[in-house]
Every structure is written in structure tokens, then in C-alpha cells.
Amino acid sequence: MTPPKPKTGFLTPDRYLFLLSLLVAGTSFMENLDGSIIVTALPAMSKTFGVPPIDLNIGVSAYLMTLGIFIPVSGWIADRFGIRRIFTLAIAIFTLGSVLCGLANGLVEFVLLRIMQGMGGAMMIPVGRLAVLRNLPKEKLVKTMATLIWPALAAPMLGPVLGGLIVTHTTWRWIFYLNLPLGLIAIVSALLLAPKSGEVEAPPFDWPGFLLTSFSLFFVMASIEMGAQPEPQWMMIGIMILIGGLLLTLGYRHLNRVDHPMIHLETLKIQSFSVSIFGGSIFRITISATPFLLPLMFQIGFGLSPFLSGSLLTAIFAGNLLMKPFTTQLVERFGFRPILIWNNVLCSLSILACAFLSPQSEWLIVLVLFAGGLFRSLQFTALVTLAYSEVPKELMSTANTLFSTLVQISLGLGVTVGAIALRMSHLAVRWFHLGPQADLPFRIALLLVALLSCLALIDAIKLSPTAGFNLLKNKKMPEKA
């Protein structure tokens, strides 16, 4: 790999790393914004395509499932063909797919173009992050990850507001055209900044591993997505779960037996990495479910306008940004394990507090959401940083692939889990005659999500007190939680 390494002049190594991180963060923002901004445009798009709005959910689902299928292969492709080439190509495919989605005039055409866009997005984010990780000294991991993760936190908050403004004042097509100038800037920047080639010679491609893992993820994600539909077909869902579970079992056995697996599962033996994978996935599901439930509660339960409902969520974004400068100091002061334990408690309490909000106290809504933004930003950064803290350099590519796959799946499943929690809440209200209040099912759903968030504590408590110790500048043993 041959990244630019000027020692003098404007583009010093530190500035190069900062600009590369900014580029990857920008592309991540494009991809995450695209997944959230489209939701507000579905009614307008349904009129253009001449189909019910619910039918357009297949476009959202097809995009997310494409990400889940193709992210696992991103590490091998980057090693085989070079980071700069694949990163630039991925941005180009994503941008072109976005523009073509804006030109679509039918549902089938739109879904196919969303799949194309998802293929670009599946390569864009993990390959970009890998470019940073391979040039990143361990001591700068905490600070750099704080920059890289903010798009995943900010985009879901800004998407509904920006989408509402675009649909209200122009046409839904500009939601996709918006990516054209951003994509062109990113392509030029990638050609200038991304490393030229892969770090290691890629082994033979593991076709059985790719097919088994990709199709298992497809069946599992599709079954969960079907479970969130208004009239789920439980027999079909059960069959798909069985098929997905069987393929996943076969894939796990295959990856553990072959010499050159697509994903090296030995990274899961690293405790800091496995905690970020398993407990971290629970946390990511809950923080993705909350922005789905809150706007619905504000509009249907509280009677607020769509624009005001979306605007209130920007308080979470403000909390995310305010926490960013303090993340490194907090991790240095307390260590990873205490942060992940106590901040997880605060994250769960902030979700629980949302269940008791009232439309008469908008200032309290803003305060609770702002506090939740602070806590989730710290937790998200700590988990992502911890994931790579003890991974050896030779396993960084496969660790990044596995981590990126499960992060994308957990964030995508957050909306589905929120929808399932809401369905369960509606059933509970009807079965137990809890009352006619329009906001009650949403409050119960938020309570269920808060309880789910507490499960992430199990992994955090098991974490070694010295986890991530090699990243701390202050080499004193962190205090026990």
C-alpha cells in the first residue's frame, strides 16, 4: 500500500490522516443519510409510481439487504484490486445509482436501481474505513473513530427533516440528485487521498463462504423484515428463519475449517472485539429503533406536525456533536469498561425517559433527546474504538469486514425491531384494554426498547478492566466499574 507520506509542507502525515478520515466520514454520511431521508418521500414517490406507499418499502428493504450481502466480500476485493481503485469505484457506483433512482418512473426499475446503489454502498464504507485503519497509529484510534462514527449518528436525525424540506419545496427526485455533487467531490478526493493498493496479496476467493454467509444473512434479514409487516405470514417467516439458520450454521463450520476463509472468525476470540460485536449490536439496534418510534409518537400520539416532529430529533444530533470533543478525555479518564457499563445505563434511562414525555413540555422533550444524544455518541465511539484496539494488523481487513457487516445489519434491523415492538404494544393495549390513548402503544414500545438496551450490559460487565489499555495515553490502570 502506498499512501502519500509527505514529511514537510502543507500535507503532513497528520493532516493527510485527518483529510482521509474526513473523506471517509463524508461518504459514510452520504450512505447513512440516503437510508433515512427516503422515508419521508415514500408518499410522494408512491403517487409517481402509481402504487400504495407500503409497496415502496421493498425499495428500502432491497437496499439494506444488498448491503448485508455484499459487505462481507469488501475486504477481499480491497486486498485483491487495491483500496483506492475499489473505494473510488464504489463511490461512483453509489452516486450513479442515486442519480438513476431519481430518474426512475416505476417500482421495479426503482428497486433494481436501489440494489445497484446498495452494491456501491456495501463497498464504500468498509473499504474507506479500512484505508484509515491501515494508516492509523493505535494511539490516535479514539480521536479518529470519534470523527468516523458521527455520520452514523447524525444522518438518521437529519434525514427526516431534510427529506421533508425537499419534498415540500421541490420534488422527491432531488433527494437522490443531492448525492451527485457530493459524490463527484468524493470521487476526486478519493483519487487524491486513498492508498493506491492493498496491503497484502489476496488469497483465493472463498466462494462457498461468500454464498453461505450472504444467503444466510439475506434469509434472516428478510424474515425479520416480514415480521414487521402489518399482516405477517408466520409460516413463511418460520421457513425463512430455518433456512437462514441452517445456512448460517453451515457457513460458520465452513469458515472455521478452510485455510483461506472469506472472514477469519478467530477475531471473535479477541474479547474486546467480540464485546463490540455482540453487546454492541444490541446497543446499535436500540439507538436505531428510537428515531423510528419517536417521530411516530410525536405525530400520531402527540398530534405534532411532521416538520416539528423531525425538528425535535435534531436535539439528539446536537448532543452527538457536543460530546465529540470530550470523548477522548472521558475514555482516557475512566477506561473502556466503566464507560461501556455506566454509559449504557444512561443510554437505557434516556430511552426510558422518552416513554414519559408529554406534548405540553416541548422543552423537556428537547432536554431528554439532547441528553440521549450525548450518551449514545459516547457509547458508539467507545464501542467502535474498542473493536479495533487489540486486533493485530494482519487481521485488520477481516475484522473490519466482519464488524462492518454486523454494524450495518444491526442498524438496519433497528427500524424492524422498533416496528415489531410497536406491533406488540398495539396487541397488548387491545388484549388488556389499557385505554384509547393514541400515544400509549408508542410509550410501551419505547419501554421494550429500553429493556432490550439493558441486555448490552451483560457483555460490558464481562469485559476485562484492562480492555483497550494499549490505547490510553495515561497508562494508569483504569478504575473498576
Q: Tens digit of pLDDT for each residue in 29-44?
A: 888 888 777 866 777 8
Tell me if 3 is assigned to some domain: no
With respect to residue 398, please indicate whether it lies within any of the assigned structural domains. yes
d(CA 375, CA 368): 11
Tell me whether residue 5 is in a domain.
Answer: no
432-469 per-position pLDDT tens digit: 888 888 889 999 999 999 999 999 999 999 998 888 88
Q: Decide if pLDDT at 481 tops 50.
A: no
Statement to judge: residues 22 and 103 lie in one domain = yes
265 or 344, greater pLDDT? 344
* Cβ-proximal residues to 414 (8 Å cutoff; 6+ apart), any chain: 284, 285, 286, 287, 288, 289, 292
Of 61-75, 148-162, 209-223, the range with the lowest mean pLDDT is 148-162
Whether the per-residue pLDDT at 478 is higher than 60: the answer is no
Same domain, 151 and 254: no
- 9 has a pLDDT exceeding 80: no
- Encode pLDDT of 74-93 as tens digits: 888 888 888 999 999 999 99
Query: Is the distance from CB of 212 to CB of 268 less than 8 angstroms?
Result: no
Q: How confident is the model at residue 473 (pLDDT cuts 50, 70, 90)?
A: low
Residues 315 and 433 in one domain: yes
**396 and 466 share one domain:** yes
pLDDT grade, residue 197 (50/70/90)? Answer: low
Contact 115, 62 (CB under 8 A): yes
Q: How many domains does the chain have?
A: 3
Same domain as 177, residue 62: yes
Containing structural domain, residue 235: 206-261
pLDDT band with cut points at 50, 70 and 90 for residue 239:
very high
Helical H segments across 355-464, by residue range: 362-389, 396-431, 440-454, 457-462
**Does residue 227 lie within any of the structural domains?**
yes
For residue 50, count other CB atoms closer than 10 A to its CB. Answer: 10
The size of the chain, in residues, is 481
**Long-range contact pairs involving 418-421 (C-beta distance under 8 Å, separation at least 24):** 418/288, 418/289, 418/290, 418/292, 418/293, 418/445, 418/449, 419/228, 419/292, 420/224, 420/227, 420/228, 421/289, 421/293, 421/445, 421/448, 421/449
Please provide the average confidence, as pLDDT, over all residues in the chain. Answer: 85
My answer on whether 226 and 288 are in the same domain is no
**Domain stops at, among 240, 261, 282:** 261
Which of 88-102, 137-151, 188-202, 227-241: highest mean pLDDT? 88-102
- The pLDDT of residue 54: 63
**Residue 280 included in any domain:** yes
46-59: average pLDDT: 79
Alpha carbon distance 148, 154 (integer Å): 11
| Residue 82 vs residue 12, higher pLDDT | 82
In a domain, 6, yes or no: no
Which pLDDT score, from 0 to 100, does residue 202 have? Answer: 66
Burial code of 411-440, b = ≥16 C-beta within 10 A, e = fewer? bbbbbbbbbbbbbebeeebeeeeeeeeebb
The answer to whether the beta carbons of residues 402 and 273 sit under 8 Å apart is no
Report which DSSP code applies to 217: H
Same domain, residue pair 67 and 158: yes
- What gap in Å lies between CA 76 and CA 277, rounded to an integer? 20
> What DSSP element (H or E) covers 106?
none
Residue 2 lies in a domain: no
The residue with greater pLDDT, 222 or 476, is 222
Cβ 368 vs Cβ 446: under 8 Å: no
- Give yes or no: residues 375 and 310 share one domain: yes
> Same domain for 246 and 273?
no
Phi then psi for residue 313, to 5 deg, are -70, -20
Per-residue pLDDT tens over the stretch 249-267: 999 999 999 888 888 888 8
Contact 102, 165 (CB under 8 A): no
Judged against a pLDDT cut of 90, whether residue 96 lies above it is answered with yes
| Residue 168 pLDDT grade (very low, low, confident, very high; cuts 50, 70, 90) | confident
Instruction: Find which of 127-141, 147-161, 273-287 is predicted with most confidence, using mean pLDDT.
Output: 273-287
Place 208 in a pLDDT band, splitting at 50, 70 and 90: very high
Confidence of residue 14 (pLDDT cuts 50, 70, 90): confident
* Residue 72 pLDDT greater than 50, yes or no: yes
368-382 pLDDT, tens digit per residue, is: 999 999 999 999 889
The pLDDT of residue 364? 94
Is 80 exceeded by the pLDDT of residue 207?
Answer: yes
Asked if 38 and 140 sit in the same domain, the reply is yes
What is the per-residue burial (b if ≥16 Cβ within 10 Å, else e) of 61-80? bbbbbbbbbbbbbbbbbbbb
Contact yes or no for 428/289 (Cβ under 8 A): no
Q: What's residue 8's pLDDT?
A: 44
Instruction: Find cell 473505494 and name the residue.
Output: 87
Residue 155 has pLDDT above 80, yes or no: no
* Closest CA relative to residue 69, chosen from 242, 220, 249: 220
- Listed in sequence order, the residues at least 6 apart from 212 whose beta carbon sits closer than 8 Å to its beta carbon are 247, 248, 250, 251, 254
Question: What is the reported pLDDT for 234?
Answer: 79
What letter does residue 232 receive in the DSSP assignment? -
For residues 375 and 330, the answer to whether their CB atoms sit within 8 Å is: no
Same domain, 79 and 136: yes
Out of 197, 214, 249, a domain closes at 197
d(CA 160, CA 33): 9
- Residue 228 is predicted with a pLDDT of 63
The pLDDT > 70 percentage for the chain reads: 92
- Examine the pLDDT at 28 and tell me if it is beyond 80: yes
Model confidence at 315: pLDDT above 80 = yes
Say which CATH number the domain at 38 has: 1.20.1250.20
> What nine digits make up the cell of 280?
454492541
Lowest-confidence region among 9-13, 145-149, 260-264, 425-429: 9-13
Does the pLDDT of residue 6 top 50, yes or no?
no
Residues 247 and 361 in one domain: no
What single-letter DSSP state applies at residue 258? Answer: S
Residue 122: inside a domain: yes
pTM, entire model: 0.81
Q: Look at residues 228, 245, 261 and tell me which one is the last residue of a structural domain.
A: 261
Q: What angle do CA 310, 418, 432 make, to 5 degrees?
A: 115
